[in-house]
Amino acid sequence: MSNPAKGTAPFGAWERELAFRYIGAKRENGGVAMISIISFVGILLAVAILIVVMSVMNGFRTELLNRILGVNGHVYVDARAMTPPQVGAFLVKAKAVDGVNSVMASVQGQVLVVGHQGADARGGIVQGIAPQDLNAMDIIAKNIVAGNLLNYGKGEFGGDEIAIGSQLASNLGVLPGDYVDLISPNGASTPFGTAPRSKEYKIGAVFDVGMSEYDEILIYMPVAQAQLFFGRESSYDMIEARLDNPENSDAIITEFAKFAGGAYLSDWREKSEGLVSALGIERVVMRLILSLLIVIATLNIISGLVMLVKNKGRDIAILRTIGVSRAAITRIFVMIGASIGVCGTAFGVLIGALFCVNITTIQKIIEKIFGPVFPSEVYFLSQIPAHVEWSEVYITATFALIMSVLVTLPPAMRAAKLDPVEALRYE
């Protein structure tokens, strides 16, 4: 090793060599290798856990929003005050707006659904939409688990075939080909009040969105039939637009407002405000809590360096007497702690990313040993979703590295301030 008294560049070869020699020194030689290993493992686990948990939360958020945005529109226009010609004119103009994928007018209403098999009655939400619009909704058309949509919309006023959610069908004990009675509280007016309207419909298809919130209540009916059943004549309740990018809903609302005639406009964030807000808050809080794990893990480096400084007091004193500067002593001990943090962070990122990529395989292995750990009836989804956002991985790694350097400063500066005379007095 070259003579440090002659002066070398900061973080030069001899400083690095001395730092790594101290890291690997055994306890009997004044080293703290075991504490270094514990610190390394702690940082590794903290970084890996943060990446895995945030990736799973991102996966849940992505899957839930994909299902919500697949069933619902992205921008809504209240069409109750619009005449049929106005609705038609709006649809033509809306489809021409850049960024709009599709636009449809619908009729909506609440009903009581009664099966013919003696099952309990259930509440439902009817969505009256045209056949081409229903077939364009991939989350419905591509998730038909029983029956089909071949006869949906065929017949007088759209016919009498409807499509219902899988859990609603299960609750009523019905299958495609069976009949159900739909009862609407908004019926004809009589001298004794409003009489409920009831009509029998044939189940043509059963769909499974993958979210019980929708599979338990949704009913799709041809729009002409819905207008007849709810007494809407030729009017509509809502116009829904689906966008190429749902995040651009604000810009699309601004464009729609130019020809909406004062109709109320809203977007998917407002309709699902509670869920979107809860997911966002949970994400921030969880990131904060897990970041504290990294802080706690890096604190192990302090204890290791404090012991190392105590054990290597004689060496530090000798280095100071031969001309090594305090800055060089500080850099040596900073490199010791930082190297532990760098290695722990690197392996933590690698293990966390590999875990997320292979999470489905890991889930299957665990379930073979311990049984189901992620029941779909509880968590909506049958598999644990994981979506790695590399920007978050970068932030996590950067935070771990910064903390690894910061926690080394107090013991490193303490080592640099060590008085050589006092350190060698009792040697």
- Cα(38)–Cα(249) distance, rounded to whole angstroms? 49
Determine the pLDDT at residue 59: 82
Determine the pLDDT at residue 218: 92
Determine the pLDDT at residue 94: 92
Which of 313, 300, 224, 376 minimizes the C-alpha distance to 46?
300
CB 182, CB 222: distance < 8 Å: no
DSSP secondary structure letter of residue 121: P
- Residue 344: count other Cβ atoms within 10 Å of its Cβ: 29
- Cα(386)–Cα(399) distance, rounded to whole angstroms? 22
Determine the pLDDT at residue 426: 55
Determine the pLDDT at residue 346: 92
Determine the pLDDT at residue 421: 65
Q: In 213-225, which positions are buried (b, 16+ CB within 10 angstroms) versus exposed (e)?
A: bbbbbbbbbbbbb
Spans of the chain below 70 pLDDT: 1-9, 12, 24-32, 117-119, 187-195, 275, 372-383, 421-427
Q: Which two tokens stand for residue 307?
A: 């012991």
**Tokens 């604000």 — which residue?**
250
Residue 343 exposure: Cα atoms within 13 Å on the Cβ side: 15
CA 291 to chain centre: 18
Residues in contact with 378: Cβ distance below 8 Å, sequence separation at least 6, in sequence order: none
Largest CA distance in the chain: 109
pLDDT (tens digit per residue) in 182-230: 988 776 555 555 667 888 999 999 998 877 778 888 999 999 999 888 8
Which amino acid is present at 171? N
Phi and psi torsions of 326, nearest 5°: -65, -35
Give pairs for 359-363: CB < 8 Å, separation 24+: 359/52, 359/56, 359/384, 359/386, 360/384
Q: Which two tokens stand for residue 37?
A: 């290993």
Which of 97, 74, 129, 398 minimizes the C-alpha distance to 267?
74
Determine the pLDDT at residue 26: 61
Question: Cβ-count burial of 30 within 10 angstroms (0-12 exposed, 13-18 middle, 19+ buried)?
Answer: middle
